[in-house]
Structure 1
Amino acid sequence: MTTVSAAAPAATAAELLAGYRPGSCTLFASPSGTLLAEGTYFAVPPSGRRDGLADLSRRVDAVLGVAEAAGHEVRTVVGAVPFAPGAPEHLVVPMRLRRGGAPVATPVEPAVFRAGRVRPVPGPGQYAAAVAEAVRRIDAGRCTKVVLARSLRVDAPGFDPAPVVRALAGREPGAYTFGVDLGGGRTLFGASPELLVARRSGRITAHPLAGSAARGRTPAEDARRAATLMRSEKDRHEHAVVVDAVASALRPYCRDLVVPPTPALVATASMWHLGTMISGAVADPAVSALTLATALHPTPAVCGTPTAAARQVIAELEPFDRGFYTGAVGWMDASGDGEWAVTIRCATSDEDGLALFAGAGVVAGSDPRAELAETTAKLATMLSALGLELGDEC
């Protein structure tokens, strides 16, 4: 999966999760395996350009070259890329890197901590109004889709994200669970259901998700909601737009690209999604996982279409900075292999508490109440691991 020190034996996912320590470690766990990165040997320097993504692969290659020239045994970068193109990434070559198997489903109790006030940003009414305004702008021709997000700020001094990361890995073993040390006492953590792109020995996969519905409380209701999602013209159209965009971005780099004609249902503990597994091979062995990730980022599933117009609407209607939310999180080694997930179903924590995020895709005819309900359902992944429930004011 990646290059590790010969002194670092393979471990189980449970052992690596037990060894995860926010502030000094970064963890990334997926269905293909688990990485635990400890310390920082060399950080990828900032770009200094307005669009840092344009030279990100070059900067990462340079840092990996430094590690190789110095004889450092770990030649892998881990970390996160933000949503905004000009914001700084957080990618490092760690001092030590251990790897292990994929997580397995494990009953884990919710994290226990003292939570204070929970503040929605924006409030439910303001979010619904923003969705209605986005629909008006779509009807006026400014864009065809925009993804609007909302946030919950939880006051919790001294909060420790480690138990939450372990709970998420046990509850969602098929997801991409992460805990990224951002420095300064800040941690990005979550369990994303969506693979942006993975590259292994020249083979690539991408698994875009778009079109969602909350899980039902009974088996019959759950099955009905899944079937309704599959039949939904609005959700099928939204999904097709994302798949077309992902396939179009990958084709210049790939050969034998396989794009299934119809989506499949993807289940998480709280949501049903429409997903399409795209696969192929890189045409040029020099094309790395990070090159592919930056070509895809941001997909219409987290931003909208056209990208520039959707970004502008987001900037005008969202009253907070997304930071790393809806960016990319993962790893890449010196051979170009790697795995990058879309940074959703996540939160960031600091010394005062944490902020949770969720968004919904707005298109012509979107119902503000339905989009608000979708964000509430998506927040359930993190809220469940935190042992929190939303009040009516949120």
Structure 2
Amino acid sequence: MPEAEFFQKLEAQHSQNLPFVAYRKPVLSGNSGEVKAFLQQDDQLHYSDDFTECGFVFAPFDTSEKAVLFPENASEKLIFEQVISEEAKFSDTSQKGEIPEEKKLTHVKLITKAVEALKAGAMEKVVLSRKEIVALDDPNPLKLFKKLLKIYSTAFVYCWFHPKVGCWLGATPETLLKIEGNRFKTMALAGTQKFSGTMDVEWGEKEQQEQQFVTDSILDDLEKAGVSSSGVESSAAYTTKAGNLLHLRTDISGKIPNSKFSPAAALAKEGQIPKEDSGKAVINRGSAERIISAVHPTPAVCGLPKEKAREFILSEENYDREFYTGFLGELNLQTNVQRSRTRRNVENLAYRAVKKETHLYVNLRCMKIEENKAVLFVGGGITKDSVPEDEWQETVNKAETMKKVLLK
């Protein structure tokens, strides 16, 4: 589909106040990237019950709340190829207005309180965030989405809208989980510093410690979910780039426990699962859900131990994160896998014909559009060695990542 037609359809959907999501996965410079969209055909609010549905999912930070689903079978799907020449350069445009001193003092006070709790041994790490409001000259979310596509080629870029929920945009560098068949991949991401023209940088003890905390916690949570530690592989930590920021990253992969692959439609016909589930994933009910529950929220957006960090966040942050630090992405979408011409293994043949993929991203570097303003969400990991003023500055740097799009 031509790009112009793609955005015309999105504009029409938005003007009719109907739900949609448009997105592009990270691409390498010089390659083309598929920009996709789901246009839900009514304004009904759908939820995922157990992550066996097919479609696009958007989940909040609070795991007690349900994830919103745009069902594949209730949506029109669009796609166009975007050619990425190179990641756009960031301008040195100054920001409109200053952050009120009161907001800075409030956040520094919050971080100071967290550091005291960490030094007392209450937690090993906690991730604290804040929101920042920016006035918009033009609040059209699709125009902002086009800017995101141009600037952030190495991020998952999206524009999500539901009239009963709101409008969100983002450019996140972090994969939560990818599932292909019975295999999964996730990552540990922590540490932040500005990109200054080179990937060859030094990481301080604080950043390396934070990265190790995140990696160890994810591995531990996966083991609790039934993933054998002997079947999990993890890479050495390495530097990765997202926009004008660098992070430390470790890749983790393994096999989903107790996974079984049979065509869902066939199982429904045989009466093994309800007919209404015939369009769902072919993985056993609950197995993928356990993996998602194990990795969300990650220590990179919550802290360690998870429950203590979550309690501190809910009692001290004093605002609702909503979908910030939640997750979003494709859920159980069928891939174009051709059948093998050999019939040596009929069971494997059936599996290959119904192979589906899930690709979820942590909702970082995001904003919510409210009338003529954008609400930005930014945060950072706090340890006992954190310096409150430095942590404040890190949130300022992260906010600049999104302001480059919002401000001329």
What is the TM-score normalised by the length of structure 1? Answer: 0.77
Q: What secondary structure does 2:202 align onto?
A: helix
Q: Residues 53-72 of structure 1 correspond to what in structure 2 (within 5 A)?
A: 57-58=49-50, 60-61=51-52, 64=53
Task: Report the residue type matching 1:144 in the other structure.
Answer: E
Task: Note the residue ranges of structure 1 that are not aligned, 5 or more in a row.
Answer: 1-10, 47-55, 65-75, 389-394
Find the counterpart in structure 1 of residue 367 from structure 2. 347
Residue 244, structure 1, aligned to residue 250, structure 2: no
Residue 143 of structure 1, CA deviation: 1.1
Match of 1:279 among 235, 253, 257: 253
Instruction: Give deviations 1:273-305, integer Å, cap 9, x for gaps.
Output: 000111223241425655532321101100001
Find the counterpart in structure 2 of residue 338 from structure 1. 358
Find the counterpart in structure 2 of residue 317 from structure 1. 316
Residue 247 of structure 1, CA deviation: 2.2
Find the counterpart in structure 2 of residue 391 from structure 1. none
Find the counterpart in structure 2 of residue 38 from structure 1. 39
Task: Report the residue type matching 1:257 in the other structure.
Answer: V
Find the counterpart in structure 2 of residue 302 from structure 1. 301
Report if the CA contact (8 A) 2:38-2:75 is conserved.
yes
Residue 381, structure 1, aligned to residue 355, structure 2: no
Instruction: Give deviations 1:75-102, integer Å, cap 9, x for gaps.
Output: x321310011233432221421234557
Find the counterpart in structure 1 of residue 105 from structure 2. 125
Task: Note the residue ranges of structure 2 that are not aligned, 5 or more in a row.
Answer: 28-33, 261-282, 335-355
Find the counterpart in structure 1 of residue 193 from structure 2. 213
Distance in structure 1 (CA, Å) of the matches to 2:320 and 2:309: 15
Residue 363, structure 1, aligned to residue 383, structure 2: yes
Match of 1:197 among 171, 177, 182: 177
Task: Report the residue type matching 1:175 in the other structure.
Answer: A
Query: Structure 1 pair 194/334, CA: closer, same or farther in 2 (3 Å)?
Result: closer
Find the counterpart in structure 2 of residue 26 from structure 1. 21
Distance in structure 2 (CA, Å) of the matches to 1:271 and 1:205: 23
Distance in structure 2 (CA, Å) of the matches to 1:254 and 1:18: 45
Residue 227 of structure 1, CA deviation: 2.1
Query: 180-189 or 372-381, which moves further after superposition?
Result: 180-189
Residue 146 of structure 1, CA deviation: 0.6
Report if the CA contact (8 A) 2:87-2:152 is conserved.
no
Report if the CA contact (8 A) 1:83-1:326 is conserved.
yes
Residue 350 of structure 1, CA deviation: 2.1
Q: What secondary structure does 1:356 align onto?
A: strand
Report if the CA contact (8 A) 1:330-1:339 is conserved.
yes
Q: What secondary structure does 1:125 align onto?
A: helix
Query: 320-329 or 92-101, which moves further after superposition?
Result: 92-101
Find the counterpart in structure 2 of residue 7 from structure 1. none
Query: Structure 1 pair 98/237, CA: closer, same or farther in 2 (3 Å)?
Result: same
Task: Report the residue type matching 2:237 in the other structure.
Answer: P
Find the counterpart in structure 2 of residue 82 from structure 1. 60
The count of corresponding residues between Structure 1 and Structure 2 is: 343
Match of 1:143 among 100, 113, 123: 123
Q: What secondary structure does 2:117 align onto?
A: helix
Q: What secondary structure does 1:354 align onto?
A: strand
Q: Residues 6-21 of structure 1 correspond to what in structure 2 (within 5 A)?
A: 11=1, 16=6, 19-21=9-11
Query: Structure 1 pair 107/269, CA: closer, same or farther in 2 (3 Å)?
Result: closer
Instruction: Give deviations 1:168-197, integer Å, cap 9, x for gaps.
Output: 122112211111113247211100000000
Query: Structure 1 pair 176/103, CA: closer, same or farther in 2 (3 Å)?
Result: farther
Find the counterpart in structure 2 of residue 8 from structure 1. none
Q: What secondary structure does 2:253 align onto?
A: strand
Alpha-carbon RMSD: 3.1
Query: Structure 1 pair 206/139, CA: closer, same or farther in 2 (3 Å)?
Result: same
Report if the CA contact (8 A) 1:145-1:361 is conserved.
yes
Distance in structure 2 (CA, Å) of the matches to 1:104 and 1:128: 40
Query: Structure 1 pair 131/28, CA: closer, same or farther in 2 (3 Å)?
Result: same
What is the TM-score normalised by the length of structure 2? Answer: 0.75
Report if the CA contact (8 A) 1:118-1:153 is conserved.
no
Match of 1:170 among 124, 143, 150: 150
Distance in structure 1 (CA, Å) of the matches to 2:240 and 2:393: 19
Residue 165 of structure 1, CA deviation: 1.4
Residue 325 of structure 1, CA deviation: 0.2
Find the counterpart in structure 2 of residue 270 from structure 1. 244
Query: Structure 1 pair 331/305, CA: closer, same or farther in 2 (3 Å)?
Result: same
Residue 339 of structure 1, CA deviation: 0.8
Task: Report the residue type matching 1:233 in the other structure.
Answer: E
Residue 356 of structure 1, CA deviation: 0.3
Q: What secondary structure does 2:232 align onto?
A: strand
Residue 202 of structure 1, CA deviation: 2.5
Task: Report the residue type matching 1:307 in the other structure.
Answer: K
Report if the CA contact (8 A) 1:150-1:359 is conserved.
yes
Q: What secondary structure does 1:227 align onto?
A: coil
Report if the CA contact (8 A) 1:26-1:79 is conserved.
no
Report if the CA contact (8 A) 1:270-1:378 is conserved.
no
Q: What secondary structure does 1:208 align onto?
A: strand
- Rg comparison, structure with higher value: 2
Distance in structure 2 (CA, Å) of the matches to 1:151 and 1:234: 24
Distance in structure 2 (CA, Å) of the matches to 1:85 and 1:98: 30
Report if the CA contact (8 A) 2:96-2:407 is conserved.
no
Distance in structure 2 (CA, Å) of the matches to 1:134 and 1:26: 36
